[in-house]
Chain A
C-alpha cells in the first residue's frame, strides 16, 4: 500500500483509560519477530489478528496504530468536517474491531480499514444529506472533454504554504468542492497511494473509471488551487484575472 501506512507517525496515547501495552513477550512482539523472519509485515498483522480473535482484544490498539492517521485522513477528506471526521473515524475503527473475524486477508489490513472508513463516510454523508459546499462537477462530467480554466504558471510550491492553517483549510475546502466520486478516487490514489487495482476494488468500479475520475479530480484541483498558490503562496479560487489563452 505504498506510504499509506505511515510508520512512526503515531503519537502515543500514554495510557488513557487503563488500556495498556501488552507485555513485551506478548503476541505483538512474537508476531513482529515472526514478520522479520518472514520479511512480511502482513504476516505480523495476521499473527496479531489471530491473537485478537482468540480473546486478546487489547492487541487491537497495536494493530491499528500504524493505520489511524490513514483512516482519519480518508474520512476527513470525504467529509471535510473535523468533528464528523473524528466521530466517523472512530466508528470505523470500532466497527473494524467488531468485524475482525470477517477480515479475509485478500487485501492488506490497511486497505480493509480504508474500505470500512469509506463506507462509514458514505453512510454519514447519506444520513446528513450533505451536499458539497461548491460542487463543480457531477457524474456527467466524466464523459465531457476537459478544458482547463487557466494556465497559471505554478512551478514552485511555496515552502511555507502548508505551515499556514488557512492554506490547509483551503486545501480541504477545495477537495470538498469536488463531487464525492472524484474525491474518493483522488484520496485513494493520490493521498494514500493505492494502486489502480486496489482503488478499483475498493470503489467497486473499473480501472478505467478510476483513471478517468482521477484525471478529472487532479485537473479540477489544479484549476482551483493554481491561481493562488502559483502566485504568492496564498490560496485563492480561480479569478477573472488569470490568463486564459484561448479567450
Chain B
C-alpha cells in the first residue's frame, strides 16, 4: 500500500472529481484495491452525491409553479397599475397646472401680456399715471406729457395696465431703466 489512509481521505474528493494527476490517481487506485475501509468511504461519498442529485430530494411542492405564476402576475399587475396611476396623475396634472397658471394670471392680470420694453417693471414709472378721457389711444402717460391731450384722469399704473392701457413711448419710454440692486 503506497499511500496512507489519511492521504486518501485528503485526496478522495479530488479523486471523485477526477482532479488528480495520473500519478496521484494511480496511487489511490492501488490503495482502494487493498483497503476496504477507504473503498467503503469512496462508495459512500459517491452514493451521497447520487442521492442528492435525485430530483425528488429537493423537489418543489406540486403547486409551486402556480403560486409563483400568481405572484409574478400580481407583480406585473402592480407594475401596470403603478404605470397607470403615474400616467393618470401626469394627465391630471396638466389641466390642473394650466388652471393654476390661468388663475395666477387672473389674480395678477396683465402681468405678462403687458410688459413692453418700456413697461413699468423696466422703468422708473411713477405710481400714478395719467390717461386721457377724450382720446381713444389707450395710452398712459407721465403727468405733463406733451402727447397727453384732452381731459386727463389720474390712476395707479397697475389699474391702467389692468384696464388695457399701454405706456406712451414718448414719456414712459424715455424714463431710465431701473438699476438692479
Contacts and interface: CB of A to CB of B under 8 A. Distances in A.
Interface of A: 3, 6, 9-14, 16-19, 57-58, 60-61, 68-69, 72-73, 76-77, 82, 85-86, 89-90, 93-94, 97, 145-148, 151-155, 157, 161-163, 168, 171-172, 175, 186, 190-191, 193, 196, 211, 214-215, 218-219, 221-222, 225-226, 229-230, 245
Contacts of A97: 72, 75
B58 A77 contact: yes
The 6 closest A-B pairs by CB, nearest first: A215-B13, A73-B58, A17-B73, A151-B37, A222-B44, A72-B60
B51 A94 contact: no
Given A10-B65, A162-B51, A230-B44, 7 more contacts: A16-B73, A17-B70, A17-B74, A68-B65, A148-B37, A154-B43, A221-B52
B38 to A, nearest CB: 8
B12 interface: yes
A219 B75 contact: no
Interface string B46-72: 011111111111111110111111111
Given A145-B6, A214-B13, A86 B37 contact: no
B51 A154 contact: no
A157 B51 contact: yes
B29 interface: no
Given A94-B72, A162-B51, A172-B58, A13 B65 contact: yes
20 contacts: A13-B65, A16-B73, A68-B64, A72-B60, A73-B59, A86-B60, A86-B64, A151-B36, A153-B40, A153-B43, A162-B56, A175-B52, A186-B52, A190-B49, A190-B52, A190-B53, A211-B17, A221-B52, A229-B47, A229-B51
Given A19-B76, A145-B6, A94 B71 contact: yes
A72 B51 contact: no
Given A17-B73, A86-B64, A191 B58 contact: yes
A11 B60 CA distance: 11
B19 interface: yes
Main secondary structure on B side of the interface with A:
helix
Contact of A171 (B10, B40, B41, B57): B57
B14 interface: yes
B47 A18 contact: no
A211 B17 CA distance: 10
Interface in B144-175: none
Contact of B41 (A12, A72, A93, A222): A222
B45 interface: yes
A157 B47 contact: yes
Nearest to A82: B61
Contact of B40 (A151, A163, A191): A151
A125 to B, nearest CB: 17
A211 B72 contact: no
Contact of B66 (A13, A89, A157, A225): A13
